[in-house]
Chain A
Amino acid sequence: MTPLDFDAVTVNDVSRTFGRRRALHKVSFSSHRGEIVGVLGPNGAGKSTLLGVLSTLLRPTAGSVGFGGADGADAAALRSRIGVLGHDLFLYPELTARENLQFFARLYGVADVDARVASALDTAGLAARADDLTSAYSRGMRQRVALERALIHSPRLVLLDEPFTGLDAASASAFVERLRGLRHDGRIVILATHDLDLAEGLLDLAVFLRDGRMVHAATRPDRLRDTYQGVVG
């Protein structure tokens, strides 16, 4: 294990403002290896801002994020251990799935790029269409490539922003299974989602945000929808 293979992420009283607008206010929680954390809340609750802070793209205005054992590392080094799947898929439509994955694998310094990419395409179930342009893919197929892109460098922390958007029931179920696999592999998964039905039974910790504030947190929550309606409204 290298010093960058942190085994916990701790969010300590993190606040973030944009001008006069407060997007996050004193949010705190922690997550450990092999856990899936759900960040739940309505639009504008601060979910994407929180993921931006965790990804090191945004600096907190106050508070801090601890990457257990790797706190002294610079942001670029930390980014080598973080994988992000955004609401936009971060894929070049003019490149094939294989070319997209190869490009990002090389940027992350992955060893034996071709073998790693072939394995990722297999996992996504897209080996047969690996040389098609991603613009020719359905939303579900692009989402699968995008997830493999986010995981191409075997990150310790995986951040997912609304990963179920646009997926049909079968693709969404397969996606949930993939997330369970990541938990089994010892990754720390933090996902922001509106989809309470898919998140039900998946989360080890649910963090509820409203207007940038953490209004509730529940460990291994059941009856997620009832809890959400009770605390968020």
Chain B
Amino acid sequence: MTTPTLAASVWQIVRKDWTVEARSREIAYTTLFFAVSCLLVFAFAIVREGKAPEGAGEGILWATLTFAGTLALGRTFERERQAETLRALLLAPVPRAAVYLGKLVGIVSLLLTVELILAPLVSLLFAAPLLSRPIWLLAILLTGTLGFAAVGTLFAAMLVRARSRDVLLPVLLYPVVVPVLIAGVRGTSALTDPEFDAAIARFWLALLLAFDAVFLTLALWTFELVMAE
């Protein structure tokens, strides 16, 4: 018997989460349904005669991702709580960081899948040319989602045994991820500007990367303490 490496442990947890989700499709469907519903409400509220206010689509994309992401975070840990399988993960001889990173990769991959559907929909409903620079958009979405999920995974794990976790998660999460959301919205707006300036887009992307590095480091550092009973 040999203790598995960090990467091998992370992969096992990610693969397990993907298999569970592929069987139930519970989190993917509820997150997607909620996100599309949000988009439609925004569309009915602000689109007049087929025209949306300039720059609205970018903000609505990130607001929708934030709401839907919060739902996904809560459900992911609720699933681990129901049969106390989170406890089984913590009893395994793997670093706590592997549990955190495994859950993080699972959530990021789920949110990116949802974003692949949301981005064209936002583009269509709000006449935002989001898909004109797909590589840039992918980079902004990936780094923004990673920053959001890095903090969200930590807080969702921390609140897993709290009775009012559904209320507490957004209350704790949103103030901390505001910088990520601002950078995400401004970075996405830079991509849709008719006079696209790569230097501005690069600035927001670099800022998102910096947030990711800070949030990931802090989360990895505190996860063991947070999970101590």
Contact = CB atoms under 8 A, between A and B. Distances in A.
Nearest to A142: B83
A89 interface: yes
B93 A79 contact: yes
Interface in A83-124: 84, 86, 88-95, 99, 103-104, 106-111
Contact of B85 (A57, A91, A106): A91
A91 B95 CA distance: 20
B69 to A, nearest CB: 22
A58 B87 contact: no
A76 B94 contact: yes
A57 B229 CA distance: 7
Given A58-B229, A94-B19, A99-B19, A106 B83 contact: no
B83 A93 contact: yes
Contacts of A99: 19
Given A76-B94, A94-B19, A107 B4 contact: yes
Most chain B CB atoms below 10 A, which of A58, A80, A107 = A107
Contacts of B23: 94-95, 133
B188 interface: no
Contacts of B24: 94
A47 B4 CA distance: 32
Interface in A117-142: 133
Contacts of A187: none
A92 B16 contact: yes
A119 to B, nearest CB: 15
From DSSP, what is the main secondary structure of chain A's interface residues? Answer: loop
Interface string B90-112: 11111100000000000000000
Interface residues of B, number: 27
Given A77-B93, A103-B16, A90 B1 contact: no
A33 interface: no
Nearest to B16: A103
A68 B5 CA distance: 27
A86 B92 contact: no
Interface in A170-228: none
B88 to A, nearest CB: 4
A57 B91 contact: yes
A52 B91 CA distance: 10
Interface in B35-74: none
21 contacts: A57-B229, A59-B228, A79-B91, A80-B1, A80-B93, A82-B91, A86-B87, A88-B83, A88-B84, A90-B87, A93-B83, A94-B20, A95-B20, A95-B23, A103-B12, A106-B8, A107-B93, A108-B1, A108-B93, A110-B1, A111-B2
Given A57-B229, A80-B93, 11 more contacts: A77-B3, A79-B93, A86-B84, A86-B88, A90-B88, A94-B24, A103-B16, A107-B12, A107-B13, A109-B2, A133-B23
